[in-house]
Amino acid sequence: MIKNGRVIDPANKVDKKCDVLIIDGRIAEVGEKTQDPRLKTQDCKVIDATGKIVSPGLIDIHVHFREPGDEEEETIASGSAAAVAAGFTSVVCMPNTNPPIENETDVEYIHRKGRQARKTHVYTMGAITKNREGVELAEMGFMAEAGAVGFTDDGKGVQEPTVMLRALKYAAMFDKVVAQHCQDNSFAGDGVMNSGFYSTVLGLPGIDALAEEAMLWRDIQLVQKTNVRYHAQHISTAGSAELIRAAKKESLPITCEVTPHHLLLTEESCLEYDTNYKINPPLRTEDDIKALKEAIAEGLVDALVSDHAPHLQSEKELVFLRAPFGIASLECAVGLYVKALIEPGVLDWPGLIRLMTEKPAKIIGVDKGTLGVGKQGDVTIIDPDAKYKIDVNKFRSKSRNCPYDGWAVTGKVEKTIVGGEIRFSAD
């Protein structure tokens, strides 16, 4: 029994002070005076949530847990521990592991490791193409059957329009979403940061905004022809926001996500050649941040993700040109989103929670993200007023490649409950 919290359940339009009762791993009641008869016969653990927000378990549909292949950077066990500490009761692993997740057995392997870790629910997307080479479709049907929640070649975009068209048609047969890391390589080349004034100053090859926008535009044409569900991953430019706006006006089945990095940091951060700011898509400009925030305020963005991308310090210590892309960001995601969106008034708490629960659950087609009676007892309790400093040395993640170390943020995860079990507690 979670008592006296501010219960925010956007899917059921709930935002009020009340109790949440979980029995046998499922939501039994949400109300002011819970009177379930089973309370009289069973031992009931009571959690006092006075002053706290009680939310459906948070869902992050874009993480990299590096297993199999790079277990020194992250494992499904360490990533899952990080996830619950960050309030996430469900995560979706990206398939760009080594080897990639591209058949039924690979999907089952991720699920099994997730169950063994016994922290967060672990889902995975499968690769769109074999070995993520963009040529031949992977075993999408078998992966769908094994429970893959969608497909992506994340880390790369599918370059050939005909391959992408086939992938969309094929995925539609299983009603699975195709997600794209929009990046046209002919524009991106071997770029390592945003193309513009700062890349010129630093003498580094740039990635033009067009790399993202050209592929997103092309994909929107394919969706127009097929009317198949499509998800644009980590959009980062004003032009992409505009393309999404136009596509949604036409009611195309298109969704998109953003990361905190593209809302809080600009290309200017790369001035010190600090590789913790090297991500893909690259950090852009103030104008892009403004456009993304406007898109979020308008309801054009469907999911807030971390794109948690852990890397070894030895790799991130390479020169900017050679270091891998990515930021370890799972464990600071909530605080960062409060800073990026709630503090400047872009979203209120119900708006933020909706983009971290109900909407992402819909994209991946799982029956989660609400506190409806009978749903799985996944709950996140957040102290919205707690102020603290991000400390990478406290991360459960194996990696520390995070530019937010020392940032002062507000909004802290207190408890994470998965299937009725307390899997993380801050005290």
When asked if residue 73 is in the footprint of Zn ion (CB under 5 A), the reply is no
| H/E segment holding residue 17 | strand 14-23
Size of the site for Zn ion (CB under 5 A): 3
Phi-psi sector, 290: left (phi>0), alpha (psi -120 to 50), beta: alpha
Q: Which is nearer to Zn ion, 154 or 414 (CB)?
A: 154
Q: Which is nearer to Zn ion, 240 or 376 (CB)?
A: 240
Least distance to Zn ion from the beta carbon of 82, Å? 16
Which residue blocks in 298-385 are alpha helix, DSSP H? 313-316, 333-337, 349-354, 358-364
* Joined tokens for residue 224: 């127009």
Eight-class DSSP state of 393: G
How many Cα atoms within 13 Å fall on the side-chain side of residue 145? 7
**Pairwise CA distance, residues 241 & 290, whole Å:** 10
Least distance to Zn ion from the beta carbon of 415, Å? 28
Least distance to Zn ion from the beta carbon of 279, Å? 9
Q: Which is nearer to Zn ion, 311 or 423 (CB)?
A: 311
Site for Zn ion in 160-199 (CB under 5 A): 181
Least distance to Zn ion from the beta carbon of 97, Å? 12
Least distance to Zn ion from the beta carbon of 100, Å? 13
* Joined tokens for residue 43: 């031992």
Among the listed residues 154, 257, 358, 378, the single contact to Zn ion using CB under 5 A? 154
Among the listed residues 9, 102, 307, 331, the single contact to Zn ion using CB under 5 A? 307
Please identify which residue in the block is written with the tokens 């919290």.
5
**Pairwise CA distance, residues 15 & 7, whole Å:** 6
Question: Is the torsion defined by CA of 188, 191, 193, 194 positive or negative?
Answer: negative
Least distance to Zn ion from the beta carbon of 339, Å? 21
Closest CA to 306 of 358, 263, 253: 263
Q: Which is nearer to Zn ion, 181 or 229 (CB)?
A: 181
Q: Which is nearer to Zn ion, 22 or 63 (CB)?
A: 63
Stretch that binds Zn ion, among 66-74, 118-126, 264-272, 303-311 (CB under 5 A): 303-311
**Pairwise CA distance, residues 309 & 64, whole Å:** 5
Least distance to Zn ion from the beta carbon of 374, Å? 33
Q: Which is nearer to Zn ion, 55 or 96 (CB)?
A: 96
**Pairwise CA distance, residues 18 & 317, whole Å:** 49
Annotation marks residue 307 as catalytic: yes
385 Cβ partners below 8 Å, 6+ apart?
51, 410
Stretch that binds Zn ion, among 21-29, 197-205, 302-310, 417-425 (CB under 5 A): 302-310
Which candidate in 106, 153, 307, 383 is catalytic?
307
Stretch that binds Zn ion, among 18-26, 38-46, 146-154, 396-404 (CB under 5 A): 146-154
Q: Which is nearer to Zn ion, 194 or 376 (CB)?
A: 194
* Joined tokens for residue 375: 């749903």
Closest CA to 333 of 258, 420, 399: 258
CB 91 within 8 A of CB 79: yes
Neighbours of 286 (CB within 10 A): 10
For residue 398, give the 3-state DSSP assignment: coil
Q: By beta-carbon distance, which residue lies closest to Zn ion?
A: 181
**Pairwise CA distance, residues 113 & 392, whole Å:** 25
Least distance to Zn ion from the beta carbon of 350, Å? 27
Q: Which is nearer to Zn ion, 232 or 371 (CB)?
A: 232
Q: Taking CA 115 as the corner, what is the angle to CA 111 and CA 118, rounded to the nearest 5 degrees? A: 145
**Pairwise CA distance, residues 121 & 13, whole Å:** 25
**Binding stretches for Zn ion (CB under 5 A):** 154, 181, 307
Catalytic residue positions? Answer: 307
